[in-house]
Amino acid sequence: MSDVSDRVRKIVVEHLNVEADKVTEKASFIDDLGADSLDQVELVMAFEEEFSVEIPDDAAENIQTFGDAVSFLEKAVN
Amino acid sequence: MFDLTGKRALVTGASGGIGRAIAQKLADCGAEVALSGTRVEKLEEVASAISGKTHIVPCNLSDLEAVDKLIPSAIEAMGGLDILVNNAGITRDNIFMRMKDSEWDDVIAVNLTAAFRLSRAAVKTMMKQRAGRIIGITSVVGVTGNPGQGNYAASKAGLIGMSKAIAQEVASRGITVNTIAPGFIASAMTDELNDKQRDTILSTIPTGRLGSADEVAASAVFLASDEAAYVTGQTIHVNGGMAMI
């Protein structure tokens, strides 16, 4: 379990108020974790803040699952 | 009246009659206020009349690059933003058939596009804070129309529609978005009317007088308050009854 993945999971759990074990690699924020479109925008903002990166809108649109977020951020941080 | 202690507000068009009154009243109720406008000396004059904490953040709203810098500079000055008052507006009146593209574009840019960009930036911060107030100063003519003001009426109606849309998007985050629609308010502009023009206008106002900028500002203070948390997507008409909508 990477450090990035832990930090992303923590944000998702806190923001969407879900159990940590529900946040699996393939879990979709909207379909599986109960997020609405505004939550999704907020998650992206929270990721930007946590990792001090800018996530452009077109990239943000492709972050649909927990796995998407982790792989994007792992690349962005390195 | 209402207690706005600890709230940080940005008022655009703060050197004009209504903007100045709003800034003053927000400050009177305890808010820290960032004053924006194009004329720095005028803003300094407004600031000097306010006893509370103020900041001057000049901005030409027809310059979209400058617009994008306004919210960050207000946040930098105050450490956050709780209340945004999109008050600045311009008119370029003309009979519709003769209206130039530039007259249309200028009015839409300042009255609507700048309000869009400022609101978009403000909402981001307010979402994180889980609280915020966005107040747009529209106009009775945005609802009733007015000959010679096709561009202005469109921009003000646009502001109402935009506010309702944002209000629905962000209501769950503790942010309210409302507009105030003043009717005829006493100002430098109305001082220039002759007696006949004045009488014609007054005959359409049941209250029988022009409104004051303070009467508009009172509604802004209410909408900015915690007490108005359940009021969103609304337009408060401050027009002496000239249009009852």
ipTM: 0.79
Tell me the average confidence (pLDDT) per consecutive run of 10 residues in chain B, 245 residues long.
95 96 98 97 97 96 96 97 97 96 98 98 94 97 96 98 98 97 88 88 95 98 98 98 95
Comparing CA positions, the residue from B21, B78, B70 lying closest to residue B50 is B21
- Which of A15, A40, A42, A54 best probes binding to B when mutated, by most B CB atoms within 10 angstroms? A42
Angle at B107 between CA B195 and CA B118, to 5 degrees: 120
Cβ contact B172–A42 (<8 Å): no
Alpha-carbon span B196 to A3, nearest angstrom: 76
Of B124, B169, B172, the CB nearest to A45: B124
B174 interaction partners in chain A (CB closer than 8 Å): none
Residues A36-43 have a mean pLDDT of 93
- Which of A38, A39, A49 best probes binding to B when mutated, by most B CB atoms within 10 angstroms? A38
Under 8 Å between Cβ of B69 and B36: no
At residue B190, the pLDDT reads 80
Catalytic residue, chosen from A21, A36, A58, A68, is: A36
Alpha-carbon span B238 to B131, nearest angstrom: 26
Calculate the average pLDDT of chain A.
93
- The beta-strand segments (E) located in B82-165 are 83-86, 132-137
Q: First CA to last CA across chain B, in angstroms?
A: 26
For chain B, say whether A42 makes contact (Cβ under 8 Å).
Answer: yes
Q: How confident is the model at residue A78 (pLDDT cuts 50, 70, 90)?
A: confident
Of residues B153 and A57, more confidence is placed in: B153
For chain B, say whether A34 makes contact (Cβ under 8 Å).
Answer: no
Query: How much is the pTM?
Result: 0.93
At residue B188, the pLDDT reads 76
At residue B40, the pLDDT reads 96
Alpha-carbon span B64 to B137, nearest angstrom: 20
Residues A7-14 have a mean pLDDT of 96
pLDDT at A1 over 70: no
